[in-house]
Amino acid sequence: MITAARKRGTPMSSLITILLDPDIVFLRYALAAGFLSSISFGVVGAYVVARRISTIAGAIAHCVLGGIGFSLFMQEKSPSPLWDPVAGALGSAVLAALIIGVVNIKAKHKEDTVINALWAVGMAVGLLFMAKTRGYIDPMSFLFGNILMIGPSDIRLMAGLGGIILLLVLLFYHKLVAVCFDEEFLELRGVPAHFYYFLLLLLTALSIVLLIRVVGIVLVIAMLTLPAAMAGQMARSLAGMMGLAVLFSMVFTTGGIALSFGMDLPSGPTIVIFAAASYLFLLVLLGIRKRWQAQDQAS
Amino acid sequence: MDEAIVRFQQVDFAYENGVPVLEGINFAIWPRELVAMVGPNGGGKTTLLKLMTGMLHPSSGSVSLFGKNPASVRSRIGYMPQYLHFDPDFPITVEEVVLMGRLGRRGIRGFFGWPEKRDRMRAMDCLAHVEMEKLASRPFSALSGGQRQRVMIARALACDPELLLLDEPTANVDSQTESRFMALLQELSREITILMVSHDMGFVSAIVKSVLCVNRRVVVHPTTELTGMVIQDIYNCSMQMVRHDHRCTEKGHTHVIPDHDSP
């Protein structure tokens, strides 16, 4: 039936046909996950792009594999709900964020080295634990995600974590903007700037854990940066950038799912390529507009 | 007798590499003084400002701000860094930048930092001081260098400071704005203490009461002539001289600005 729907029309029309089928629920979950994750992609992505911490986000994302690998290994050795891979992912992401935050404050000149070391060591640890865990574990599903495998419990988790992220951003919006724009000034105002920097890193860590199910560890950075970078070309304020980035993310996840479904491609990479192509298109458009404006002024 | 706003006593400072940046610094700044700090690049001006604000700690000697540890009272400062300090593409409006000055002790008090109506009114008032109120809703990234500089001054004023620290406030402003800014500083100095870093000796000489010359040591403008030899010694190059008529006391290796404790 799915194949028949694919053959009948455009990616979007075949997606709609499947969506209306009461027997096929996984696409509805995928779309719901795409919409929920777009909130984090857009809101936290705006901070990541504005504060220029995408490399830090990359290191946190790759450390997550270490936590997942450790959880899977422990789950096999002594089964317990404590060793849920999501808990492992969350723990390792928060730990990586704390390490990077401390290094940023105490030894800034070593930050770059530590970030890159965490990036590689996190992945290595994850792969080693997976290799020593009995049974077949495919790291590819963690590295590149699979939005079509998402179930109701994932949706609940995404809604919960997304709600926490939104609430924190809403409450501390101005201080987080200040720590991104001028951390030193915030410190001089007697506001604990380091605390808000840590909060920003923790929000990034939370978002990454949330988003890995959608696009995977390797591609999460693209979705945290591309929609926000596009929004940054148009927005006047960080709040505007967040709103636009959420909107772009929703378009990319929905469009990416439709394309991947219609063309029988893996969903995570399709979403990212769609976002990257749109970003490139926007840059070209802005370049042409700039050229026209320069020509107008010259004439 | 007023208490010194800033006091450095036998302060030495070196970064982790051990190379001394400042040596034997003694000076005091008194309430409602308008003081300029001049000196070559790498001479220690920014380090001196960071020691003053408690962002750095002296290797030896003591620094006090309002008679206390600088870190504990730094929210009483309004600080304007050099405009190059900022990411020019950061998505933020002019009003949002100025509202940052309301964060902390005197402005937005709530834990969450959401501005109230009075904070917005104060921000607009500070923007009006630098003639930027009409651009309040503009993106900061769309402003010229000079306009950004004025917004930064407005942000420092929005702190309702008792001590205003300005790092090269007129580096990118046109001469007309510079004149208006000078008048504003003179007006403000009736109420608050101001220290500004400047390379523009002509600009500072017209309005300040004392000049701190920084190049590892601090020489404060003497009452008698600041000779060409002394200036050359500080800057290691020929410099334009600034003449003022202010009292000065000599302590150790440095000349210091008028000290109310001195006879």
Residue tagged 């779309």 (tokens): A31
Burial class (CB within 10 angstroms; exposed 0-12, middle 13-18, buried 19+) of B74: buried
Mean pLDDT lowest for which of A81-90, A281-290, B197-206, B250-259?
Answer: B250-259
Residue tagged 């988790």 (tokens): A157
Contacts of B203 (CB under 8 A, 6+ apart): B170, B178, B182
Mean per-residue pLDDT, A234-252: 94
Q: Which of chain B's residues have a Cβ under 8 Å away from the Cβ of A228?
A: none
Nearest CA in chain B to A167: B112
Summarised one tens digit per residue, pLDDT across range B44-82 is 888 899 999 998 999 999 999 999 999 889 889 999 887
SS3 B36: strand
Nearest CA in chain A to B137: A236
Nearest to A139 by CA among A149, A129, A148, A147: A129
A270: enclosing H helix or E strand = helix A267-298
Instruction: Indicate whether A2 pLDDT > 80.
Output: no
Instruction: Indicate whether A25 pLDDT > 90.
Output: no
Nearest to A67 by CA among A88, A82, A86: A88
Query: Tokens for A80?
Result: 């317990």
Q: Rg of chain A over CA atoms, in angstroms?
A: 20
Burial class (CB within 10 angstroms; exposed 0-12, middle 13-18, buried 19+) of A136: exposed
CA atoms within 13 A on the CB side of A63: 27
> Is residue A228 very low, low, confident or very high in pLDDT (cuts 50, 70, 90)?
very high
Strand-pair partners of B139: B93
Q: Which of chain B's residues have a Cβ under 8 Å away from the Cβ of A46?
A: 91
* Average model confidence (pLDDT) across chain A: 88
CB contact under 8 A, B55 and A237: no
Instruction: Indicate whether A107 pLDDT > 80.
Output: yes
Instruction: Indicate whether A93 pLDDT > 80.
Output: yes
SS3 B107: coil
How far apart are the C-alpha atoms of B165 and B173, rounded to whole Å?
18
Q: What pLDDT, on a 0 to 100 scale, did the predictor assign at position B36?
A: 87
- Percent of chain B's residues with pLDDT above 90: 29
How far apart are the C-alpha atoms of B138 and B142, rounded to whole Å?
7
Domain A2-298's class?
mainly alpha
Q: Which residue out of B103, B114, B119 would a mutagenesis test of the A interface target, given it has the greatest number of A Cβ atoms within 10 Å? A: B103
Q: Which residue out of B73, B89, B100 would a mutagenesis test of the A interface target, given it has the greatest number of A Cβ atoms within 10 Å? A: B100
Strands B20-29, B217-220: parallel, antiparallel or unpaired by DSSP? unpaired
Contacts of B165 (CB under 8 A, 6+ apart): B49, B52, B53, B77, B78, B79, B80, B156, B195, B196
Task: Tell me if chain B has a CB within 8 Å of the CB of A235.
Answer: yes
Nearest CA in chain A to B101: A189
Q: Please tell me the distance in Å from A256's CA to the nearest CA on chain B.
A: 27
Looking at per-residue pLDDT, the higher value among B9 and B104 belongs to: B9
Looking at per-residue pLDDT, the higher value among A6 and B153 belongs to: B153
Summarised one tens digit per residue, pLDDT across range A176-225 is 999 999 998 998 988 889 999 999 999 999 999 888 877 888 888 889 99
SS3 A271: helix
CB contact under 8 A, A175 and B103: yes
> Is residue B254 very low, low, confident or very high in pLDDT (cuts 50, 70, 90)?
very low
Q: Which residue out of A174, A186, A191, A290 would a mutagenesis test of the B interface target, given it has the greatest number of B Cβ atoms within 10 Å? A: A174
The ipTM is 0.81
SS (H, E, C) A143-154: HHCCHHHCCHHH
Q: What pLDDT, on a 0 to 100 scale, did the predictor assign at position B251?
A: 36
CB contact under 8 A, B139 and A237: yes
b/e burial code for range A215-237 (CB count within 10 A of at least 16 → b): bbbbbbbbbbbbbbbbbbeebbb
Looking at per-residue pLDDT, the higher value among A141 and A186 belongs to: A186
A 29-48 residues inside an 8 A Cβ radius of B: 46
Query: Tokens for A229?
Result: 């970078």
- Percent of chain B's residues with pLDDT above 70: 74
Phi, psi angles (nearest 5°) of residue A218: -70, -35
Q: What pLDDT, on a 0 to 100 scale, did the predictor assign at position B256?
A: 35
Q: What pLDDT, on a 0 to 100 scale, did the predictor assign at position B139?
A: 92
Strand-pair partners of B68: B65
Task: Tell me if chain B has a CB within 8 Å of the CB of A169.
Answer: no
> Is residue A46 very low, low, confident or very high in pLDDT (cuts 50, 70, 90)?
very high
Domain boundaries, chain A: 2-298
> Is residue B84 very low, low, confident or very high in pLDDT (cuts 50, 70, 90)?
low
Instruction: Indicate whether B195 pLDDT > 80.
Output: yes
Instruction: Indicate whether B7 pLDDT > 80.
Output: yes
Q: Which residue out of B90, B163, B167 would a mutagenesis test of the A interface target, given it has the greatest number of A Cβ atoms within 10 Å? A: B90
Q: Which of chain A's residues have a Cβ under 8 Å away from the Cβ of B55?
A: 184, 187-188
- For B104, the closest of A190, A235, A237 (CB atoms) is A190
> Is residue B222 very low, low, confident or very high in pLDDT (cuts 50, 70, 90)?
very low
Q: Which of chain A's residues have a Cβ under 8 Å away from the Cβ of B123?
A: none
Most distant CA atoms of chain A, gap in Å: 76
How far apart are the C-alpha atoms of A185 and A179, rounded to whole Å?
8
Q: Are A170 and B113 in contact (CB under 8 A)?
A: no
